[in-house]
Amino acid sequence: MSVTKERDQFGASELAICLSHYDLGIISRIEEFPRGSRRAPKIVIDCQRGRFLFKRRARGKDDLAKVAFTHQIQLTLAGQNYPLPHLLGTRDENNSLLLHGGNIYEMFEYIEGGNYEFAEGTAPGMQGRRRCRRGAGGRGISISADGTGAPAERQTRSTMEAVCRPPANPAVEPPHNT
């Protein structure tokens, strides 16, 4: 017995309705982005405003509170100049996510990239301490995966406290969540 591993796809009317909620300008190209979860369809959009990744959250990964929480972290980091793909807010309400037909959709700035290459002799999650630098200040968050730093629970809590501080520059206002 074989299990099909087809990717979920967007319907034409689903895309037309959802994309109309974003201020993209003229769309010149849409292509499927066949990476990540097969249950979460993704497309790359080339348009007047730039290049974006549009995604529908997979069932089971679509808890609204959790998605809103992760968006708040991303928006806070973006407000502190961390290098990450920014969320694009909706046209009318500048929401970082779109609810339509019982699904959650997200629009991200598309950033070209490749697979992470692990150092020789290491396994995923065991690269030791890494430091993420942001902006010119060079402050960052250390993450210990191999026990060389703080215990994971304490480190996660302190990382979340650092991330969830209000932005230092109140003039930077990222899209809000509701």
Q: 128 and 55 share a domain? A: no
Q: Which two tokens stand for residue 53?
A: 């990744």
Q: 123 and 109 share a domain? A: no
Choose the final residue of a domain: 114, 143, 172.
114
Q: 88 and 122 share a domain? A: no
Number of domains, the chain: 2
Here the CATH number for the domain that contains residue 36 is 3.30.200.20
Q: 29 and 63 share a domain? A: yes
Q: 85 and 103 share a domain? A: yes
Could you tell me which of 137, 116, 140, 114 has the C-alpha nearest to residue 129? 140
Q: 83 and 138 share a domain? A: no
| Distance from C-alpha of 109 to C-alpha of 121, rounded to nearest angstrom | 34
Asked, for residue 1, whether it belongs to a domain, the answer is: no
Burial of 22 (0-12, 13-18, 19+ CB in 10 A): buried
Q: The whole model's pTM is what?
A: 0.66
pLDDT of the chain along its 178 residues, tens only?
A: 556 689 999 999 999 999 999 999 999 999 999 999 999 999 999 999 999 999 999 999 999 999 999 999 999 999 999 999 999 999 999 999 999 999 999 999 999 987 777 666 665 555 444 444 333 343 443 333 333 333 333 434 444 454 444 444 444 445 554 4
Burial of 74 (0-12, 13-18, 19+ CB in 10 A): buried
Domain span at residue 32? 8-114
Choose the final residue of a domain: 79, 95, 114.
114
Q: 82 and 157 share a domain? A: no
CA separation, residue 8 to residues 12, 48, 58, 67 (Å): 13, 27, 9, 20
Q: 123 and 101 share a domain? A: no
